[in-house]
Chain A
Amino acid sequence: MEYVTTPPDFFPWLRESGLTFLLVVVGLAKISILFGYLVTAVRRGPVAALSITSKAIAGGVVDLVRISPRRVMALAWLAIKESIGRRVLVVFVIYALVLMFAGLILDPTLRETGRLYVGFVLNAMLYLMLALAWILSAFSLPNDLKQRTIYTIVTKPVRPSEIVLGRMIGFSAVGSMLLAVMALFSFLFVVRSLRHTHAVEAGSQTSLVTGHRHVIDKNQVGEEGGTTDRAHSHSHHVDDPSRGEMTGPSQGELIARVPIHGTLQFTDDKGQPKEKGTNVGKEWTYRSYIKGGSLAAATWRFSDVRAEDFCDAEGKTDSLPITMNLRVFRLHKGTIDRGVLGSIVLRNPDDPDLVSGMITFRAKEFQLDEIDIPRHLLSGKPGPDGRPMRLDLFDDLVSESGELDVQIQCEESQQYFGMAQEDVYLRSRDGSFAMNFIKGCLGIWLQMVIVLSLGVMFSTFLSGPVTMIATLGALVTGMFAGKISALVAGEYLGGGPIEAFVRIVTQRNLVSPLEVGMATTLIEMFDKAILFILWVILKLLPDFQSYSNIDQVAIGFNIPGMLSLQHLLSALAYLSVAMVVGLFFLRTREVAR
């Protein structure tokens, strides 16, 4: 499956998200102040409560405003020393063991080894770092409070905000250092594990290495050299196959493609626009299909198409690379040893007469079909002289606003092509895999820092074990945010938690409705209440999955810099809230006053 997260436009996102953030923060602040005032009013009376609450708010604000970076750094250093004293480096030893024995779990003979290796190391790092953050943050403050070692700090002129922030920064620094070392080793492990060469055998194929070999097409690889076929998601450079030497190292496996996606519009077999194509009966409806030998088509509209995005090393743009990942559904066997015939037509959205001639291709399923559309091509409609015109793809077919339509049709009757919006894209110049790997690690780092901050925040008012449970709860909820939000949205059969429990106990199926009556009304009422609470929790807790770009890196898609920036900003928002909440809770502890 190929998928990629396309970031929303930055400034609209910033405006919308910032506003939501401010609303939530102000709302929470109001609720907290009101709650604090009411509790104090009950204990001390309304007038005294007003004074105490005002002082608490003012004190907290002063704490925040007068934070001393020097003291924060000193406390952070203390947290680093404490972490090292608590043998956090064991995590690195565990990771080293994981890498050493990874060969026992990872099978290099599988087809998409690059994806498996990259996915494995990034996931291993993620889970280890999250576990480290969870344990490190949960016990630090509670232990200090319990063993009264906190007095060695609070007797010094430090503010509670500095204690909280110092710990957050200190633990994050330790985690970051570990993550950096692990990332470096992981990168080297992946690159070295996947790097291999083959011997050229009889000039037409290569030797068998890690369960695969490559075919050398003599028509394409002459004496001057060329590349082998693409097998197991990579190819090799061959200098001269007739000399029977070794191939070059594997290439095209660790990549960072930069796709330019368009919006997909289907037309049915009568040529009428349609929201979706034909359903051929697959359980997964992500893709829909267009009927071959008819007017049915799938048209992608690409925006912001610029020639300079597709230039070669010399800065020239001679073609437009289109990558397709189509599915094929045959109603009859057809010609079994040949892919189903398809066609591509490029069209200027502003001028229907500016259309390219048909470019045919044979569909390749479950592999990336990369087609370079030449920049200069003949038109599909005759010009004034009755003959096809010569068109420049970027000058004639791309509209003034930078839009281009790419239409794909299946040319064989009774056969179908399946596609989703992300299946066809224009491939801009590839990004650096190393850089993409770092962006993937950034996602891990952000998750680690959020967990650390949540842990420190909880530890300001909970004991160690309870902090662990609370942090774990936040982490698990955040990791399954997608599934929980689907539950809240009612996308799962069988109702809410209580209804599901009743169905399990009474052995009922998920579809048949419960009997109408008081019991069912009560069940539904409680379910609604639980789901509302879940909804609130979901809105407050970070969605950890959204920070994880591991699949994107493993599959070989570049993570847009803008997406990383958005993740960074949203993580900062959570950190700031965690710090402020932690500060106020710590101020309530007698020891910190």
Chain B
Amino acid sequence: MSQRQSFFRKVSYFVTIAILLVPLSWLSRPATSASEQQPGDPGGHLAQLRSEHQLSQANLGQIDPTSETLKLATLGFRGVAVAILWTKVDEYKKHEDWARLESTLQQIMTLMPNFVHVWRYQAWNVSYNVSVEFDDYRDRYHYVKQGLKLLVKGAAYNAKEPNLLADIGWFTTQKIGRSDEKSEFRRLFADDTDFHEYLSNYIDLDQTRGPNENKPDSWLAGRMWYLKAEKLVDDNEHITVGGVSPALFYEHSAKCQINFADTIQKDGFFGEVAERAWRRSAKLWKQYGDRTLELNDGRTFSLNDVRAKLQEIGELSEQLDALQPGLRLQMRAERTKDVPPDLLTAKKIKPDQRSALERDLAERAERLILVSPKDLAEQMDDSVRGEALAIADVMGQQARLLRKIQSDRGIVNYDAWAFRCLTEQSEHLLKGRQRLHEANVQYKKGRLDSDDPNRPGAQQLFEAGFRSWAAAFKEYPALYYDEHRCEDLLVAVDSYRRRVLDGGPLPKDFSLAELLRRSAKEPTRRRGSKKMTPKTGKTPEKTEQTTGKDAKTKPAKKDPAGK
């Protein structure tokens, strides 16, 4: 190739590049903001796409010059650098080199500040996995905080990521409030004025103060972070809760208040303080139930919509029946003919007199006889069939929505928590809990028995507490089906028997005899508690299975304390 050809080839390359730069420049021209004199320009197509998908750095969150510089310094090998650093973090963790681990984590975050999963994963790593490596609980608390701070920093870099805020709420509440060292962690958190000062840059600490000398409480602090996450989603149309169900995403803030109320009682705060906390819990739980939640298809609902939906479906059903009166009955009669006799026999037995097998058979019979709105509409005369099908279609949609609501209520255990908030405000329960707490305190002081009515001993307090609980059971019989609370109470009864009665039998007129009787009937459902017979309070040799009748009337199947 001659020099001339080579020269022309190079020139052609430059010309091609220059020509290609023109459309590229046009496509990617930046947006300009509007001023009083002239309207803003949305920019080129690429700028508009960035804006639409919230991809620009300013949209994602804080712009950090260090981060940007380091990203550039890796010359496009940012991913490789992070991968190497990530393996180093694992190595440092294995070799218990915490100083380097923390330092390397910061380098990773600087290089990849907008990769949300990196923040979430490594914050969890520090708060949950690194912290437990330490023997001293103060060191553990330090690393729980380090993980939290990592998340807070991540939330600043990713200002539109509600799950990071929710994670901060989770760490603050669950790691501090539920771990093995929860009492130590909660005490450290309440006294950690430096951390309070740090948190006050992000949340209103005055709203987190609990009854313990008006110091911030971890449950309430966590609640503030959840509220921030909720506000972020509520205020921004484009921001969604991600892969989490809306019912689960929004439950935490109210749940924090419930856990706060529960915890302060364990910490020894009763009376008006506890009652107020439970009242607020009930109010927030109700507000949560009333909150409008959105499905992926844009339809909205609230957990408290069950009654309204049932009524709506009932009205539609009446409208459908009114189009051709008597058709449904006629169809049911025809279908009844095809139902096997043993199923029909079971169906004829009164519901409350059916055995478990009969109940099953009766339900099968009902399913065979049932006429769905669509079936009904299809069998109607031509003149009304169109309208009937339209109504049946609406009914189908409403029924699906109702099932979704009921499913979500089941997932978050809505009824059980509502029941808990209601009953815990009861004077009997408040007093019952207080007496049992005081009984334990007196026992630890060695004051088992006392004749002084003003300064009762552990025995008097235990018995007074059990009487209050018995009154609460009378006021709310459904409490018998609250496994969690019954179990706690059984532990208290066991403690009373061992500590006060020296392991002897419980008195014949024991106020919680009914609870013990039921406990002996269904001991397998109790988590780790000892099973006692009502008469002796000793472990029974044989147990009975839970009857279907009992199960049917239970308000909830799940342990309310479970997540």
Contact = CB atoms under 8 A, between A and B. Distances in A.
B135 A340 contact: yes
A106 B70 CA distance: 13
A436 B103 CA distance: 24
A439 interface: no
B135 A330 contact: yes
Contacts of B106: 105, 107
A366 B97 contact: no
Given A283-B94, A284-B94, A337 B137 contact: yes
Contact of A116 (B69, B103, B110, B134): B103
B97 A1 contact: yes
A61 B206 CA distance: 86
A107 B103 contact: yes
A337 B140 CA distance: 12
A336 B138 CA distance: 10
A587 interface: no
B99 A110 contact: yes
Contacts of B66: 101, 104-105
Interface in A95-122: 101, 104-107, 110-112, 115-116
A111 B107 contact: no
A437 to B, nearest CB: 19
Interface centre among A107, A213, A327, A336 (most CB of B within 10 A): A336
A284 B95 contact: yes
A39 interface: no
B94 A328 contact: no
Contacts of A330: 135
B102 interface: yes
A339 B135 contact: yes
A336 B181 contact: yes
A365 B103 contact: no
A208 interface: yes
Interface in B103-153: 103, 106-107, 110, 133-137, 139, 142
A333 interface: yes
Contact of A112 (B99, B134, B137, B180): B99
B96 A364 contact: no
Contact of A366 (B69, B94, B102, B139): B139
Given A333-B180, A365-B134, A110 B95 contact: no
B194 A1 contact: no
Contacts of B103: 106-107, 110, 116
Contacts of B98: 111, 366
Contacts of A324: none
Contacts of B96: 1, 284, 327, 366
A363 interface: yes
B449 interface: no
Given A1-B97, A208-B194, A284-B94, A336 B134 contact: no
A337 B139 CA distance: 11
A104 to B, nearest CB: 4
A59 B203 CA distance: 82
A124 B194 CA distance: 34
Contacts of A366: 96, 98, 133-134, 139
Given A336-B184, A365-B136, A1 B95 contact: yes
Interface string B315-328: 00000000000000
Contacts of B184: 336-337
B100 to A, nearest CB: 8
B488 to A, nearest CB: 21
Nearest to A233: B99
B99 A213 contact: no
Nearest to B95: A1
A3 to B, nearest CB: 10
Contacts of B65: 104
The range of chain A's interface size is 20 to 34
B99, B142, B181 interface centre (most CB from chain A within 10 Å) = B99
Contacts of A336: 137, 180-181, 184
A111 B99 contact: yes
B333 to A, nearest CB: 65
A292 B135 CA distance: 15
Interface string B187-225: 000000010000000000000000000000000000000
A284 to B, nearest CB: 5
Interface in A269-283: 283
A2 B252 CA distance: 43
B135 A365 contact: yes
Contacts of A284: 94-96
Interface string A310-330: 000000000000000001101
Contact of A328 (B99, B107, B135, B181): B135
Contacts of A101: 66, 69
B136 A364 contact: yes
Contacts of A365: 134-136, 139
A112 B66 CA distance: 22
Nearest to B140: A336
Contacts of A208: 194
A339 B139 CA distance: 12
Given A105-B107, A284-B95, A284-B96, A110 B135 contact: no
Nearest to B92: A1
Interface in B57-99: 65-66, 69-70, 94-99
Contacts of A106: 103
Interface in B513-557: none
Contacts of B139: 365-366
Nearest to B65: A104
Contacts of B107: 105
B498 to A, nearest CB: 21
Contacts of B70: 105
Contact of A213 (B95, B110, B194): B194
A284 B94 CA distance: 6
Interface string A105-148: 11100111001100000000000000000000000000000000
A550 B196 CA distance: 38
A1 B97 CA distance: 5
B136 A339 contact: yes
A107 to B, nearest CB: 6
Contacts of B95: 1, 284, 286
Interface in A332-378: 333, 336-337, 339-340, 363-366
B148 to A, nearest CB: 14
Nearest to B94: A284
A104 B107 CA distance: 11
A339 B135 CA distance: 7
B104 to A, nearest CB: 11
Contacts of B99: 110-112, 115-116
Nearest to A415: B135
Contacts of A104: 65-66
Contacts of A112: 99
B101 to A, nearest CB: 10
B468 to A, nearest CB: 32
A395 to B, nearest CB: 37
A107 B149 CA distance: 13
A215 to B, nearest CB: 11
B1 to A, nearest CB: 25
16 contacts: A1-B95, A1-B96, A101-B66, A111-B98, A112-B99, A213-B194, A283-B94, A284-B94, A327-B96, A336-B181, A337-B184, A363-B135, A365-B134, A365-B136, A366-B98, A366-B133
Those 3 A-B pairs whose CB atoms lie nearest each other, nearest first: A112-B99, A328-B135, A365-B135
Given A107-B103, A111-B142, A328-B135, 18 more contacts: A1-B95, A1-B96, A104-B65, A105-B110, A107-B106, A110-B99, A110-B102, A111-B102, A116-B103, A213-B194, A283-B94, A284-B95, A333-B180, A336-B137, A336-B181, A365-B134, A366-B98, A366-B139
